Amino acid sequence: MRVCGWLFVGRGGGGGSVGRLLALGVRVLGPDHPNTLATRHNLAYWRGQAGDATGAATAYEQLLTDQLRVLGPDHPNTLATRHNLAALRDDPEPG
């Protein structure tokens, strides 16, 4: 799993394939577009899988704030972010 995380996140925690896709999504679609938010969710997930629990938690917290504002508290993607953040806080080691 760490190899997959490295491919997505990159060695520095944000420069892999998903990090580049996120930059493109923000530029083309805007920061509040649902696809941009979904990409941020994927980046946070893979950051955690790569072993950066602190970075993943921070990314999820920032994402959750935006999802609550844009999508609302009951949207499935908002709920998934809440779930993943809670799981990460309960067990910061990827499994």
Domain that includes residue 13, residue range: 2-90
Indicate whether 95 belongs to any domain. no
Handedness of CA 59, 41, 33, 74 (dihedral sign): negative
Overall domain count for the chain: 1
Q: Can you give the pLDDT at residue 6?
A: 46
* Cα–Cα distance, 65 to 91 (Å, whole number): 22
CATH number of the domain encompassing residue 44: 1.25.40.10
For residue 51, tell me if it sits in a domain: yes
Q: pLDDT band for position 57 (50/70/90)?
A: very high
The span from the CA of 83 to the CA of 79, in Å, is 6
* 82 assigned to some structural domain: yes
The CB density around residue 18, as the number of other CB atoms within 10 Å, is 24
1-23 pLDDT per residue, tens = 444 444 455 555 555 677 788 88
How many beta carbons lie within 10 A of that of residue 4, not counting itself? 11
In a domain, 16, yes or no: yes
Residue 78 domain flag: yes
